[in-house]
Structure 1
Amino acid sequence: MINMLLSQVLDLMTPVLLAAMAGALCERAGVFNIALEGNMLVGAFVVVAASVAFGSPALAVLLALISAAIFATPLALGGARFGGDPIVIGIGLNLLASGLTTYLLSALFGVTGTLVDPSVTALPRFGIPGLADVPVFGAIVGGHNALVYLSWLLVILVNIYLFRTRWGLRLRGIGEVPSAAAAMGANVSRYQTAIVVFAGALCGLAGAELALGSVALFAENMTAGRGWIAVVAVMLGRAHPLGIALACFGFGLADAIGLRLQGQGLPNQITDIAPYGITLLAMVGLGLRTAARKLKNT
């Protein structure tokens, strides 16, 4: 029972974790990216639309990645290169993604609400050789799709990049003291632009996992605030990959428990708010911790 629950947590937390890794990189680069939600939604729509058009999940995921990266360029150029307000641009991109995907759903497929097509299939699941026979652990980590495994690999790679390479040191320097980094020869706007575009691509993968991970459909505004949860995870984890992964695990656990309670007859209106309730409590705790630190310093 616990094995199944933890396995479900890994599936549910993956979209948030991928988006949160994108947010962490942007945060380290000095760009507060709140457009994660919109980028995820674009990725989710494109992966389903491409699956209908081409019938290839791999190609659909690739196109979702590219489309979300392109969708992130207004923030990359406007916020990083031309000095625009990233908050305003991010909110605009989120609103644009919501309206654009709803319009394209109707214009291209003639449906409203939810697109379900027999040609759209969920991403294939497989086990990691050698782990399937490991008691308990094998049952938890086995039987997931490639994006689930990739999300945990990214946690390791981003951690190494940020804290074990000179490129990561330079990126952190750009985010902390951009003037000093520029004086050392770093092209601040170029770094920030590249990171925001790459973050958009990661959000495209998050959207692809959301649409084709456990289900095979697209629904209007199906991200349902997961991009905002990713922003909170970045704040709770202090933009550290390991702390973010722990925060995302907590959100995934709340979501999984909510689904289990729903299966026991609890109204879905109550269970659906579980991860968002946890997010709200986490934000309150974070605010109290920050206030206590400021009071102590004074």
Structure 2
Amino acid sequence: MNLVFAGSVITATAPVLFAALGGLLCAAAGVFNIALEGQLLCGAFTAVVVGHETGSAWLGVLAAVVATVLFAALLSVPAVSLGTEPIVVAVGTNLLALGLTSFLMRRILGLGGTYSSPDLRGLPDLPYTSQSALVPVAFLLTAAVAFWLRRTRSGLRLRALGGEPEAARSLGLKVTGYRHAAVLTAGALCGLGGAQLSLGNVTLFSEGMSAGRGWVAVVAVMLAGTSPYRLLGACLLFGVAEALGFRLQGAGLPQQAADAAPYLITLAVLVVARVISTRRRKERTV
């Protein structure tokens, strides 16, 4: 694997990893969050709009985080406070994000499809690399979340209430508060992922540019459980598949096939890995 390909893998991994970390925190808290796709799209759109209006990529990132936290509240309030089925609410917010960003794109930016401009500033690259400053943040947060979940009192409490909420309530833990915090933190992480996608991986916004990355993040969470390092491995797999897809397109593979390749490869390998893991677990119990 040469350095250029490795750099492409890391770049492709970062947005998915941000979203997947948010999904993992929700899973640890006992909330199955499939709204990651719409939240990534919300973050990507907000980052470009605010970056376009202010001329500052970092203000775009900040706005993406704030806007996506507010957008995540559309899931948090009904699912956590009102007891609504989170999957139904999440599907609704995903559809809302797709339609709302397309509508606002025409109202604010004056066109549909794809917006790019030489005046739109992307995130600065780290010295001697082609990676934006947000990319290492995703990997550092993975280590931080792993440490927090397993080595701190609040992290252990989050995992406990996700597995046994009634027992956690009997011990006086505020289950609702922890779950709200997890869902809103996931929104903030998706905001970072969306900003990286639209101002780091590229410097533009196109309708539906999350392009299934949020769903890949959901699958990664389902396979990784509450292990951030297994989650990282699953997301890196997607990064390898996406970078390989670009290479195949350069080698003459039709664009549609190249675009689909990362998702097909990632999902196939993840399913195989899950089957192997399940068989090993059954063998240990026999």
TM (normalized to structure 2)? Answer: 0.95
Q: Distance in 1 between matches of 2:88 and 2:273?
A: 24
For 2:91, the equivalent position in structure 1 comes to 91
1:222-233 matched pairs, under 5 angstroms: 222-233=209-220
Question: How much does 1:82 deviate?
Answer: 1.4
For 1:161, the equivalent position in structure 2 comes to 148
Q: Distance in 1 between matches of 2:268 and 2:212?
A: 16
Report the secondary structure of 1:107's partner residue: helix
Residue 42 (structure 1) aligned with residue 42 (structure 2): yes
Q: Larger deviation: 284-293 or 212-221?
A: 284-293
For 1:194, the equivalent position in structure 2 comes to 181
AA aligned opposite 1:145: S
Runs (4+) off by over 3 Å: 286-298
TM (normalized to structure 1)? Answer: 0.91
AA aligned opposite 1:113: G
Question: How much does 1:285 deviate?
Answer: 2.5
Q: Distance in 2 between matches of 1:220 and 1:238?
A: 31
Question: How much does 1:283 deviate?
Answer: 5.2
- Give unmatched runs, 5+ long, in structure 1: 133-141
AA aligned opposite 1:152: F
- Percent identical among aligned pairs is 46
Q: Distance in 1 between matches of 2:88 and 2:117?
A: 36
For 1:263, the equivalent position in structure 2 comes to 250
For 2:231, the equivalent position in structure 1 comes to 244
For 2:79, the equivalent position in structure 1 comes to 79
RMSD between superposed Cα atoms in Å: 1.8
Q: How many residues align?
A: 285
AA aligned opposite 1:155: T
In 1, are the aligned partners of 2:39 and 2:97 still within 8 Å (CA)?
A: yes
Residue 208 (structure 1) aligned with residue 195 (structure 2): yes
For 1:18, the equivalent position in structure 2 comes to 18
AA aligned opposite 1:249: L
For 2:161, the equivalent position in structure 1 comes to 174
Question: How much does 1:291 deviate?
Answer: 6.9
For 1:139, the equivalent position in structure 2 comes to none
Question: How much does 1:282 deviate?
Answer: 3.7
For 1:101, the equivalent position in structure 2 comes to 101
